[in-house]
Structure 1
Amino acid sequence: MTQAPAGPSRHFVLAAGGTGGHLTPAFALAQELDRRGHHVALVTDERGAAIPGKPDFLPAHVLPAGRFGKNPLKWFSGAKAVWEGRSMALRLFETFEPTAVIGFGGYPALPALLAARKAEVPSVIHEQNAVLGRVNRLLAGGVKAIATAYPDVARLKDAHREKVHLVGNPVRAGVLALREEEFPPFTQDGLLRVLVTGGSQGARVLSEVVPDGLAMLPPALRSRLQVTQQCRPEDLDAVRARYAGHDIPAELGTYFENMAERLADAHLFIGRAGASTIAELTAVGRPAILVPLPIATDDHQAANTREIVKAGGARSIRQNNFSAKELAKQIGALAKRPDTLATAAHAAWNCGRPDAAKDLADLMESFGGDTIQDVIRVGGNNARGATQGQSVAQGAAKEPAR
């Protein structure tokens, strides 16, 4: 795709907050727009302002963002907060004069998008998951474009499909830089490096099941394990005791700052199926065993796994079926031969959309021009270097469409 012609510097507002899953793609887009010479501002909530990773050049404007849960008694206070946030966003727009506003889903994005509609500023929404979220469903009818991370997105009305641009989910620059590196060699007698994470807060089920599942592997494979696992603080001692009892070397922590380096070294990932996790696994090309969060809204984590599982890059296990025995079975199938993991890694890599930040920036730059630029990426967006993790002969069978 041809990049939008260079023009005068523009102003863009990015609205995201609540969780890292919304902020990470916003930060990546901000860096790309800044690289192109534009001015960018972030509208977020208090939780979003505390999430690490915000670029130094990006000013953050903290707005109130109400939530609308199942308790009707809290709806009034939620609506009042959204209205207050909308008024604050309108005042920001008067001075910042944005060319366009983009929201990344979640209630913290709602005030800024409602303000954009009132001020008649073009707006875009980006959906990181394979199911259109509640706030994005509410806003879909009034925005100029809907950017998606997956070709198929559930809960998207047919009337809105003509607005859809498939761009992918932008990932951190440090992770994206690993895309052209080879899958780490895995030999018949070499180490099997396993990375286990449960999202920003960890996951108790992984702490309970993974150590026992790894212990059930055949002795020849178990003796070659090298595990890195993120745990919740309250689970740390129990997980350490489990690994010690199984005589499996494991590095445990509640948070790893150098996650990109650990992902680069890993042969296998085990964890949840959040949008950012899937985006990073497919950007780098790492095989995975995914356990979707069962209480995720609209079961969106299970939907997130479908593309990578269908391609052969991951196995998905529902949490009610996630037992030590089942985990050992799936790991054994992936690691039974040295080339099996590399083949899965290549399949995951082929699902990646490495130009997500660039394509999303192209879409934002199209506002203020003559037409909305088409950045749809159904196939052929990742053909360069398509033999990652394999020999040319091995990769030929799974070469992406050109």
Structure 2
Amino acid sequence: MAEKLHVAVACGGTGGHIFPGLATARALRSRGHHVTLWLSGKHVESTVLQGWKGPVVTIPSEGFQFGPMRSVLTACRIVLAVIRCWIAMFRHRPDAVLAMGSYSSIGPCLAARLRGIPVVLHEANAIPGRAVRMLAGKAACIAICFEETRYHLKGLNLVTTGMPLRPEFKRRSEPKTSAPEFRLLVMGGSGGAHAVNEMVSEAVCLLAPDTQNALRVTHLTGPADESHIRRRYEEADMNADVLAFTQEMAALYETADLAICRAGASTCAELGIFGLPALLIPYPHAASDHQTANARALEKAGAADVVQQSEMTVEWLADYIRTQMEEPERLGKMRIRALREDSINAAEKLAETVEQCAKK
């Protein structure tokens, strides 16, 4: 076993940073290391971290704001966060800091730099976020998920680890079983996907009755849209399961024939684990339009189709769903191309990278 290390995992902010950070933290602990989570105090963190028994350091932080006065306020908040982290590291001095790329990782990383502690960054998206771009120059290593990221971080120490996922995202060894109906998985969620919920449900209800009878829909709407989307399917007498959210995502991925969803980094990685073809609708307001870059990477690999929200109509979407139902051979080829092995052991790969950087 490698020498025991004290590792700070800075993963506060959003679920897209907390889940992979927590997965890697558990991988590090399983390798015998001491791990402290560094968070930002957001409500989502307490929900996600149920079951975590290790130490936690909370340093309040806010996202980037722009404009003359707001930029000054952002700079002041960063300085204050660095000071708080620098002080906290007297008590929780790590041998290495692993930062999952959110704005809340800036304070711990800059404080670690002042103390001469190596920093490992993880960038989940094809286009690096602002925090990673700010911190990349002095990082010991940057772990990435998309090869396209290399074009944006040239000349730096990069390693492809994939996206650390929760333990339940383990693909079954047996092949996918066939079902009499075509199984469509729609993931609207809460991150600005009201338009996806509306348009997909309307498109499904536009389909001819015989097409609807051959289709089974599982639609994850997020809490805001659950009731009226369910009502829409019921009024159309559609075979649909409507859920605000679920803890059984792995089972849904395993049984679906096609997904319609956003193109967040975690979603893209989960699709790859299960080899699930998808129609990706990038969130139009994502920073640096990174969801479009994620989606185009999967499209280039032949694993997904991409449509911009501004270009999508209900009629086009209904025709797309009907066409995919009629072309199982195409989806079969997409499924083969969608399958990605790199995220299966990503947490272990990232943990090993942290070990290597801590020893240098």
TM-score class, shorter-chain normalisation, is: over 0.9
Q: Which moved more, 1:250-259 or 1:6-15?
A: 250-259
Q: Scaled by the length of structure 1, what TM-score is found?
A: 0.83
Distance 1:37 1:62 in 2: 23
Counterpart of 2:255 (choices 261, 265, 274) is: 265
> Once superposed, which parts of structure 1, at least 4 consecutive aligned residues long, lie more than 6 Å away?
none
Distance 2:172 2:114 in 1: 41
The alpha-carbon deviation at position 332 of structure 1 amounts to 2.8
* Residues 99, 367 of structure 1: 8 Å contact kept: no
Query: How many residues are paired up?
Result: 359
SS at structure 2 position matched to 1:50: helix
Distance 1:179 1:306 in 2: 27
SS at structure 2 position matched to 1:131: coil
1:248 maps to which residue? 238
1:115 maps to which residue? 111
SS at structure 1 position matched to 2:48: coil
1:82 maps to which residue? 78
1:205 maps to which residue? 195
What whole-Å deviation, never above 9, does each CA across 1:363-384 have from its counterpart, x for those lacking one? 10103435xxxxxxxxxxxxxx
The answer for unaligned runs of 5 or more in structure 1 is 1-5, 371-402
Counterpart of 1:312 (choices 267, 290, 302) is: 302
* Residues 132, 154 of structure 1: 8 Å contact kept: no
1:214 maps to which residue? 204
1:278 maps to which residue? 268
1:40 matches 2:1: no
SS at structure 2 position matched to 1:126: strand
* Residues 307, 351 of structure 1: 8 Å contact kept: no
The alpha-carbon deviation at position 66 of structure 1 amounts to 3.3
1:381 maps to which residue? none
Distance 2:27 2:39 in 1: 19
Aligned-partner residue type, residue 46 of structure 1: G
The alpha-carbon deviation at position 203 of structure 1 amounts to 1.4
Distance 1:233 1:219 in 2: 29
1:3-42 equivalence runs, <5 A: 6-42=1-37
Counterpart of 1:146 (choices 138, 142, 153) is: 142
What whole-Å deviation, never above 9, does each CA across 1:288-347 have from its counterpart, x for those lacking one? 111000111111001001232122221111101222222223223322144433332222
SS at structure 1 position matched to 2:218: strand
Distance 1:165 1:55 in 2: 30
2:176 maps to which residue? 183
Question: Structure 1 residues 117, 68: CA separation in 2 closer, same or farther (over 3 Å shift)?
Answer: same
* Residues 137, 155 of structure 1: 8 Å contact kept: no
Aligned-partner residue type, residue 164 of structure 1: L
SS at structure 2 position matched to 1:170: coil
The alpha-carbon deviation at position 181 of structure 1 amounts to 4.2
Distance 2:161 2:312 in 1: 32
Distance 2:249 2:276 in 1: 13
The answer for unaligned runs of 5 or more in structure 2 is none
* Residues 223, 245 of structure 2: 8 Å contact kept: no
1:400 maps to which residue? none
Distance 2:322 2:354 in 1: 45
1:218-237 equivalence runs, <5 A: 218-237=208-227
1:291 matches 2:272: no
Distance 1:86 1:220 in 2: 61
1:61 maps to which residue? 57
What whole-Å deviation, never above 9, does each CA across 1:258-294 have from its counterpart, x for those lacking one? 2222222222211111000001110121111110001
Counterpart of 2:167 (choices 173, 176, 182) is: 173
* Residues 125, 143 of structure 1: 8 Å contact kept: yes
1:92 matches 2:88: yes
What whole-Å deviation, never above 9, does each CA across 1:235-254 have from its counterpart, x for those lacking one? 33332232123221222222
The alpha-carbon deviation at position 105 of structure 1 amounts to 1.3
Question: Structure 1 residues 154, 245: CA separation in 2 closer, same or farther (over 3 Å shift)?
Answer: farther
* Residues 64, 84 of structure 1: 8 Å contact kept: no
Distance 2:80 2:162 in 1: 32
Question: Structure 1 residues 311, 280: CA separation in 2 closer, same or farther (over 3 Å shift)?
Answer: same
Question: Structure 1 residues 253, 308: CA separation in 2 closer, same or farther (over 3 Å shift)?
Answer: same
* Residues 82, 111 of structure 1: 8 Å contact kept: yes
Q: Aligned-residue CA RMSD in angstroms?
A: 2.1
